[in-house]
Copies of this chain bind each other. A is one copy, B any other.
Amino acid sequence: MRGAKEPLRIEEFPEPALQNGEILISTIYSEICGTDVHLQHGRLSGVPYPIIPGHVSVGSVERIGGTVRDVYGATISVGDIVTFLDVHNTCNHCWYCLVAKASTKCPERKVYGITHSSKEGLLGGWSEKIVLRADVKTIRLPKEVTPLRFIAAGCAMPTALHAAERAAVRIGETVVVQGAGPVGLCAGILAKRAGAQRVFIVDKSETRLAMAQRFGLEAIVATDASHPDSHVTTILHATHGRGADAVIEATGVPAAVKEGIAMTRDGGRYIIVGHYTDTGEVAINPHWDINRKHLDIRGTWGCDFSHFHYMIEVLKQPEAVPGFDASWEHLVSHVYSLDDIATGLRDVELGRVVKAVISPNGYQD
């Protein structure tokens, strides 16, 4: 990706030399996600174009710089199927890392596929090979977790895990998720797994809602919220007029925040996780929407390694929601080749796919 709004271009790089502690992997899968669309539109600030996009990826180990151990202490070998936390370089030496314990706000934090220029090397997943720097947290995929299942969950899953953690779901509660994209679907699935009795998911897309239902989520078609029989009314009706115990926003649409608050019960939790780029403002009434509601609103930025760890644990089980047949793999709509990447990016932009995966080496699961 040469720059904002410039066409994508396939380039050749020399075979990289490895520093001690580094790993070179052959990419099996990477993702095409909504952030990549934002990257091409130039909606993220401070991106050092040209970049190799693709933040969450999985590959097989080709070469290793010395002896490298994963987070659990096991030595990594050539041929291992590994993944890694795309966020790295958090310094563990600054106020955010050490005092606030909010490593997702560390100013040194780097992200594969987003904050590295391609001049720095193969630091993005839309590439046949990726260099894992020495500080990268690497995990060998357990044999129960196939590369396709892993990438199906992809970057949406640890973000959704963080959101689910912030939602603090209690066994038997009712949860609403706004938006049935990858983050919203994962958040809904995880709310079920965290013990929610009923999980509603609101979206305009019939395709996405049909997918959601396969995971045991109760689909609600989003309509004009001002109508007396809108999705807001439906949720209130389903919750004895009180609203849901927790509502998770995964739309990126400012107006959804106002609607989401209206669907949350007094004393409930409203989690905002879908606003990764600036899409404008929304008018909030502090009296009715927050103070009188005794509401908790919780922004959720990024994820840390703990979410990545638990993601792998959860993926060991084939069914996404126990009791429902749909597996994680069903989230993948299409696997693109490097040559098809522009098509893939457009499909994501137009919402034609739930999850778009790229396989730069033509891997088939």
Chain B nearest CB: distance from A128 CB in Å? 28
Interface-lining segment among A89-97, A110-118, A219-227: A89-97
Which of chain B's residues have a CB closer than 8 A to the CB of A93? 71, 137
Cα–Cα distance between A316 and B170 once the two chains are bound (Å) = 16
Interface-lining segment among A9-17, A75-83, A189-197, A200-208: A189-197
* Known contacts A193-B195, A197-B316, A292-B301: A257-B284 contact under CB 8 Å: yes
In the complex the two chains form, is A104's CB within 8 Å of B294's CB? yes
The A interface, classified by DSSP as helix, strand, loop or mixed, is loop
Contact string, A279-298, partner B, CB cutoff 8 A, digits 1/0? Answer: 11111111110111111111
In the complex the two chains form, is B300's CB within 8 Å of A102's CB? no
In the complex formed, the residue of B with least CB distance to A315 is B172
Cα–Cα distance between A99 and B308 once the two chains are bound (Å) = 9
For chain A, residues 293 to 323, give those with C-beta under 8 angstroms from any C-beta of chain B: 293-302, 304-306, 309-311, 313-314, 316-317, 319, 321-323
**A interface, CB within 8 angstroms of B:** 71-73, 90, 92-96, 98-102, 104-105, 137, 161, 164-165, 170-173, 190, 193-195, 197, 240, 242, 249, 254, 257, 265-267, 272-288, 290-302, 304-306, 309-311, 313-314, 316-317, 319, 321-324
